[in-house]
Amino acid sequence: MPERIKILVSACLLGENVRYDGGHKRDLFLNETLGPFVEWIRICPEVDCGLPVPREAMRLVGDPDRPRLVTSRTGIDHTERMECWAKTWLDALSSLDVCGYICKKDSPSSGMERVKVYGGGSGVPARTGVGVFTRMFMERFPRIPVEEEGRLTDPVLREMFIERVFCLRRFRDLLARPLSRGALVDFHTDHKLLLLSHDRRHYEEMGRLVAAAKTVSAGSLFSKYEALFMAALSHKATPKKCSDVLSHMMGYFRKMLSTDEKQEMIEVIDQYRRRLVPLVVPVTLIRHYVRKYDVVYLSRQVFLNPHPVELMLRNHV
Ligand code: SF4
């Protein structure tokens, strides 16, 4: 059994009763669907930094760029306590090889974006804050994908996040082997069509980096590649870009398919482009021909198999 991918997660989303009011915010998708494929590393910044359950609710106050973490009624400032604990905790986390972080939206400790910040002139809170712990996490590990449970209800954002998590895992597996330029070329080749479905510009820049591999030290090469790889995957894979990739793949079967079969594939790709059927439909058809005609180059393409089918991430239109 390969090791499961480790994902950091806000403990209240797993159903732990750690919220200020003694409750939880158990998330069905995380627990029932994603859970079997990952190993959760749970965290509750407020409880883990020493605050009790139940406790007074907190909020972000002051400078929108660097707000303080303050109790809502009594005004006790817990920023230093949280930052001190988080610094040590994040040091320890470096060795755990976490490939993603799913955090609780709107929380002054755990939120990723648009957390309310109080104290501006108008009296209306600005939706500009980031939870204190999550801000520190993102500053410390800028290449690890982060997402909120609320945004994960959007099927496009959900697919993007999980795809990035699985991609980062594959890249880390590559790093765990002796660093070899040949292995990086293979990795780049296998991810070509996936990268093109996200962002051609990044793909081409990565190609130039790989081509000049001999002129760069291995450490610098792999680090630059990882930065570009994760940046490329943060671009949305639109139906237009994915259809272009699918049409490109179809070119590999031109001589093998009958006129009818080609017409069927063109129609299915077009239906996907027009958002009449989900991506899983043309991908399943292409995978069928890849297997039938044993097209080795395509069978290695991560685009056809970026994450477990059981997650059903490509079943939306
Ligand atoms: S949102 Fe974060 S700090 Fe609040 S209960 Fe959940 S894990 Fe703990």
In one letter, which amino acid is 166? F
Ligand 1, atom nearest to 18 Cα: 5
Q: Give φ, ψ of 74 to 5 degrees.
A: -95, -10
If one residue of 49, 104, 132, 149 were mutated to test the ligand 1 pocket, choosing by the most ligand atoms within 8 A of its CB, it would be 104
What's this model's pTM, rounded to 2 decimal places? 0.95
10 lines ligand 1 (CB under 6 A): yes
Residue 9: its pLDDT value, please?
Answer: 98
| Residue 231: per-residue pLDDT | 98
Calpha distance 61→129 (Å, rounded): 9
What pLDDT sits at residue 121? Answer: 67
In the numeric block, the tokens 């296998």 are attached to 190
Ligand 1 atom nearest residue 109's Cα: 3
HSE-up (13 A, CA, CB side) for residue 171: 22
What tokens were used for 267?
Answer: 């129609």
Mutation pick for ligand 1 pocket among 110, 112, 115 (CB with most ligand atoms within 8 Å) = 110
Nearest-atom number in ligand 1 for the CA of 11 is: 7
* Angstrom distance (rounded) from CA 104 to CA 9: 8
Q: What is the pLDDT of residue 254?
A: 87
In the prediction, which pLDDT does 64 show? Answer: 84
Summarize pLDDT for 143-173 with one digit per residue, the tens: 999 999 999 999 999 999 999 999 999 999 9
Per-residue pLDDT at 65: 86
DSSP calls for 17-63: S-STTS-----HIIIIIIGGGEEEEEE-HHHHTT--SS---EEEES-
Q: Under a CB-based contact definition with an 8 Å cutoff, are residues 299 and 189 in contact?
A: no
Distance, CA of 145 to CA of 102 (rounded, Å)? 9
What is the CB neighbour count within 10 angstroms for residue 236? 13
- 32 Cβ neighbours under 8 A, 6+ residues apart: none
Looking at residue 120, its pLDDT comes to 67
Which residues on adjacent β-strands are paired with residue 223?
Answer: none
Q: How far is the CA of 9 from the centre of ligand 1 (A)?
A: 10
pLDDT at residue 3, as a whole number? 80
Most informative mutation of 9, 47, 136 for ligand 1 (most atoms within 8 A of CB): 47
pLDDT by residue, tens only, the chain of 317 residues: 468 999 999 999 999 999 999 999 999 999 999 999 999 999 999 999 999 999 999 999 999 889 999 999 999 999 999 999 999 999 999 999 999 999 999 999 999 999 999 986 677 899 999 999 999 999 999 999 999 999 999 999 999 999 999 999 999 999 999 989 999 999 999 999 999 999 999 999 999 999 998 899 999 999 999 999 999 999 999 999 999 999 999 999 989 999 999 999 999 999 999 999 999 999 999 999 999 999 999 999 999 999 999 999 999 99
Residue 129: both structure tokens together: 């804050």
Q: Rounded CA gap, 234 and 226, in Å? A: 12
Q: What is the pLDDT of residue 41?
A: 98
| Whether residue 134 has its Cβ less than 6 Å from ligand 1 | no
Residue % of the chain over a pLDDT of 90: 94
Tell me how far apart the terminal alpha carbons of the chain are, to the nearest angstrom: 33
Q: Which residues have a Cβ under 8 Å from the Cβ of 147 and sit 6 or more positions away? A: 100, 101, 102, 103, 112, 157, 161
- Tokens 């070509």 belong to which residue? 192
Cα of 278 from ligand 1 centre, angstroms: 35
- Max CA separation in the chain (angstroms): 75
Determine whether the shortest distance from the Cβ of 104 to ligand 1 is under 6 A.
yes
